[in-house]
Amino acid sequence: MLANKGNYAGMSKAVPVITIDGPSGSGKGTVSRLLARERGFHFLDSGALYRLLAYAAQRRGMGLDNESALAALAGELDIRFPADGEGDRVLLDGDDVGEVIRTEAAGSGASRVAALPAVRQALLDRQRRFRLNPGLVADGRDMGTVVFPDADAKIFLTASAGERARRRCNQLKEKGKLVEFEDVLADIKVRDERDASRSVAPLRPAQDAYLLDTSELDIPATMERLREILKNRLNP
Ligand code: DC
C-alpha cells in the first residue's frame, strides 16, 4: 500500500502535517478543527470521506459489501468541503449532506466500507491531496500510520469507552434525540472492535505518536496539552 511512499514524501514533505488519530468520542474532531483554525492550516476530516461513500452507495442502492463497485465509486465522487464559515458543510454532487452523514446509520455504514482494502486504497491519494500550504491537520484513524507516515507531529487521542459514550449521548440529547446510554455504549464497542480488528489499516497509534488520554480533560484542557506537545515538534 505504501509502495509510492518515497515519491509521495519527496513531493510534499515541505508542507507540514499534524495527524490526529483515535476512536470516535475521543474529542479529535473538535480539537482537530480548532487546531487547524488556530494555525491557519487546512483540515482533512477523513471519516467524512468514508461516511460520504457509505451514504452515496446507499443512495444509489448499492450493497455495502460490493468492494470493487465501492472502490470505483470512491474514485468518482464529487466531494467538496467548502471553507466558507462555521459548521460542517460537506457537498456531495453539489448537495449539502453535512447533517445526514453524521447520523448513526451513516457512521455504521462508514465503518463497514472502511474495512474494505480496495476502498481504503481508492481514498488514499484523495486524502493526500489535502496536504497543501501552509499546512494540514488530518483527523482520522490511520492518518499517522498509513496516509501521512512522514507527518511532522502525530497525536493519538483516546478516552475510556464509557466516557466516549457519555459524550455521544450528550451530543445526541442536544440535537433532541433520546437515546439509552447502554445502547450508545454497545454501539461504540462494536465499532471500536471493527475498526481495531480489520486487516487493513486497523485503528492503532503510530509508533512515533504521542498518546493523550482525554477521559479527564475537557476541550480547552486538551487544546492546552496539544499546544505544549506541538511546541516541541513543530516550528511555531
Ligand atoms: O471519525 P468518524 O466517526 O467520522 O469515522 C467514521 C468511520 O470511518 C469509523 O467507523 C472509522 C472509519 N474511518 C477509518 O477507517 N479511517 C479513517 N481515517 C477515518 C474514519
Convert the pLDDT of each residue in 104-153 to its tens digit: 788 889 989 998 999 999 999 999 999 999 999 999 999 999 999 999 99
Of all residues in the chain, what percent carry a pLDDT higher than 90?
63
- Threshold 0.85, pTM exceeds: yes
CA of 45 to the centre of ligand 1 (A): 9
Residues with Cβ within 8 Å of 39's Cβ and at least 6 positions away in sequence, in order, are 134, 135, 137
pLDDT in tens, 155-168: 999 999 999 999 98
For ligand 1, say whether the CB of 142 is within 6 Å of any of its atoms: yes
Q: How far apart, in Å, are the Cα atoms of 24 and each of 9, 67, 149, 185, 186? A: 28, 24, 21, 12, 13
Taking residues 44-64, report their average pLDDT: 93
**pLDDT at residue 83, rounded to an integer:** 64
Distance separating alpha carbons of residues 47 and 122, to the nearest angstrom: 14
For ligand 1, say whether the CB of 158 is within 6 Å of any of its atoms: no
**pLDDT at residue 235, rounded to an integer:** 61
Q: How far apart, in Å, are the Cα atoms of 158 and each of 166, 198, 209? A: 14, 19, 12
